[in-house]
Amino acid sequence: MSDLENKDFQNDSKKQVNTHLSNKKWVRNALVVMLGDIVATYFCFFMALLLRFDFSFASIEDKYITWALYLIPIWCIIIVTVFYFTRLYHSIWSFVSIDEALQVLRAYCLIAPLMVLSSLILRFRMPISFYMIGIVGCVICHIGNRFAYRILRKLGGAVSSNATGNGSSVERVMIIGAGDSGSVLIKELKNSTHTNMVPVCVIDDNENKIGRSLFGVPVVGGRNDIISKAAEYNIDTIIFAIPTASGSNRKEILNIAKETGCKLRTIPGVYQLATGEVSISRVRNVELIDLLGRDPITVDNEAVFNMIKGKTILVTGGGGSIGSELCRQIASHEPKQLIIFDIYENNAYEIQQDLLRKYRNKNLNLVTLIGSVRNTHRITSVMMEYKPDIVFHAAAHKHVPLMEESPNEAIKNNVMGTYKTAKAAAAAGVKKFVLISTDKAVNPTNIMGATKRICEMIIQMMERETPNTSYVAVRFGNVLGSNGSVIPLFKKQIAEGGPVTVTHKDINRFFMTIPEAVSLILQASYYAKGGEIFVLDMGEPVKIDDMARNLIKLSGLRPDIDIKIEYTGLRPGEKLYEEKLMAEEGMQMTDNKLIFIGKPIEMDDEWFKTKLEELDRESRADDKNIKEIVQEIVPTYKIGSN
What are the residue ranges spanned by the domains of the chain?
21-162, 171-286, 307-485+500-543+572-633
Handedness of CA 498, 499, 503, 505 (dihedral sign): positive
d(CA 102, CA 108): 10
Please give the full DSSP string across 444-505, using - where no structure is assigned: -SSHHHHHHHHHHHHHHHHHHH-TTSEEEEEEE-EEET-TT-HHHHHHHHHHTT-PEEES-T
Which residues partner with 500 through β-bridges? 565
What topology is assigned to 307-485+500-543+572-633 in CATH? Answer: Rossmann fold (3.40.50)
What lies within 8 Å, CB to CB, of 462 at 6+ separation is: 422, 423, 426, 433, 469, 471
Alpha-carbon span 502 to 496, nearest angstrom = 16
Please report the pLDDT score of residue 380 as a whole number: 96
Predicted pLDDT at 608: 94
**440 labelled catalytic:** yes
The tens digit of pLDDT for each residue in 289-319 reads 655 655 566 666 677 888 899 999 999 999 9
Question: CB 628: neighbour CB atoms within 10 A?
Answer: 11
Asked, colleague to colleague, whether 171-286 and 307-485+500-543+572-633 share their fold, the answer is yes
C-beta of residue 393 within 8 angstroms of C-beta of residue 435: yes
Measured CA to CA, the distance from residue 611 to residue 628 in angstroms comes to 12
| Ranges of the chain whose pLDDT falls below 50 | 1-5, 7-23, 157-168, 270-280, 582, 585
What CATH code would you report for 171-286? 3.40.50.720
Given the residues 440, 452, 575, 611, the one annotated as active site: 440
Please give the Cα distance from 95 to 276 (Å, whole number). Answer: 17
Task: Measure the CA dihedral 240/241/245/251, to 10°.
Answer: 0
pLDDT tens by residue, 368-411: 999 999 999 999 999 999 999 999 999 999 888 899 999 999 99
For residue 313, which amino acid is it?
A: I
As a whole number of angstroms, the distance between CA 553 and CA 474 comes to 34
What pLDDT score does 317 carry? 94
Amino acid letter, residue 247: G
